[in-house]
């Protein structure tokens, strides 16, 4: 399992964050939520009072960020100016604003370059000591890591995706806008609803977390032609239903 790169794309609410994190944990790989880079960039711009409508200003501000990433799947964190902002970047304010950065092509190019560097660096060492990395987001399988060893597009029924997020305790109207509104906006700059050539589709609409995780592990083993992706003991399995943290 040395130096393996696993890329998981998909819209919000499909379970990609939960599944990617658990797969990384079981295989002792690094976990990289690329959506967090857009969120921390958004938080940084909001704090600095940048007009998000001015694309060049946003892109320039992205270049000034001092951000550290902890890629441990058991406790992934984002540090902005040495402050742990892992919770702040998941706030409603950021969730409803992040598309302004994610659809900014200049900022997206800069963040994409950073994401590729993170993945390349991890394959040579880092948290996983070179074992590999599981990256998830919206354009990982096509733009950021098209040469990943395993590429997966996770999908799920629209209403199921909204219900999963609403089940996390948030206001339903806010959730619907954050999930579906964000998808609609981001779809103008990146395709994440249809699998590209060579990308495997995994529909999680009727799957539990464990079933979705095992499906990914089985696919990894199939692609690599080995039996390294075995399921852990039942006591290590996560909770029953697929949920998805607020990714890109």
Q: Where are the domains of the chain?
A: 4-225
Q: Is 12 annotated as a binding residue?
A: yes
Q: Is 184 annotated as a binding residue?
A: no
Domain made up of 4-225: CATH architecture: 3-Layer(aba) Sandwich (3.40)
How far is C-alpha 91 from the geometric centre of its chain's CA atoms?
16
**204 labeled binding residue:** no
Q: Any binding-site annotation on 13?
A: yes
- CA torsion sign for 37, 41, 46, 47 is positive
**Class of residue 233 by CB neighbours under 10 A (exposed 0-12, middle 13-18, buried 19+):** exposed
Of 219, 227, 246, 230, nearest to 151 by C-alpha is: 219
pTM of the predicted protein model: 0.83
Please check if 169 is assigned to a binding site.
no
Per-residue pLDDT of the chain (248 residues; tens, 9 = 90+): 458 999 999 888 888 999 999 999 999 999 999 999 999 999 999 999 999 999 999 999 999 999 999 999 999 999 999 999 999 999 989 988 998 999 999 999 999 999 999 999 999 999 999 999 999 998 899 999 999 999 999 998 887 887 776 765 556 777 776 666 666 665 555 555 566 677 999 999 999 989 999 999 999 998 877 654 554 443 344 544 555 554 45
Consult the annotation and say whether 14 binds a ligand. Answer: yes
């Amino acid at each position: 399992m040395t130096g393996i790169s696993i890329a998981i794309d998909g819209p919000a609410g499909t379970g990609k964050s939960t599944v990617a994190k658990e797969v990384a944990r079981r295989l002792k790989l690094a976990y990289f939520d690329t959506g967090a880079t857009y969120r921390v960039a958004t938080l940084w711009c909001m704090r600095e009072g940048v007009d998000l409508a001015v694309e060049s200003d946003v892109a320039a501000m992205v270049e000034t960020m001092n951000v550290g990433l902890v890629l441990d799947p058991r406790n992934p964190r984002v540090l902005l100016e040495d402050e742990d902002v892992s919770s702040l970047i998941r706030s409603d304010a950021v969730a409803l604003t992040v598309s302004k950065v994610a659809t900014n092509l200049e900022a997206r190019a800069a963040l994409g370059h950073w994401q590729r560097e993170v993945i390349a660096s991890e394959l040579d060492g880092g948290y996983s000591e070179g074992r590999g990395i599981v990256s998830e987001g919206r354009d990982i399988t096509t733009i950021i890591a098209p040469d990943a060893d395993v590429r997966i597009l996770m999908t799920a029924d629209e209403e199921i995706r909204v219900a999963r997020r609403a089940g996390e305790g948030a206001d339903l109207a806010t959730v619907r806008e954050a999930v579906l509104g964000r998808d609609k906006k981001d779809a103008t700059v990146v395709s994440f609803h249809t699998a590209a050539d060579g990308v495997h589709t995994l529909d999680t609409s009727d799957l539990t977390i464990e079933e979705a995780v095992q499906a990914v592990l089985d696919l990894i083993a199939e692609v690599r032609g080995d039996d390294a992706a075995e399921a852990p003991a039942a006591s290590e399995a996560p909770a029953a239903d697929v949920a998805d943290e607020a990714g890109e």
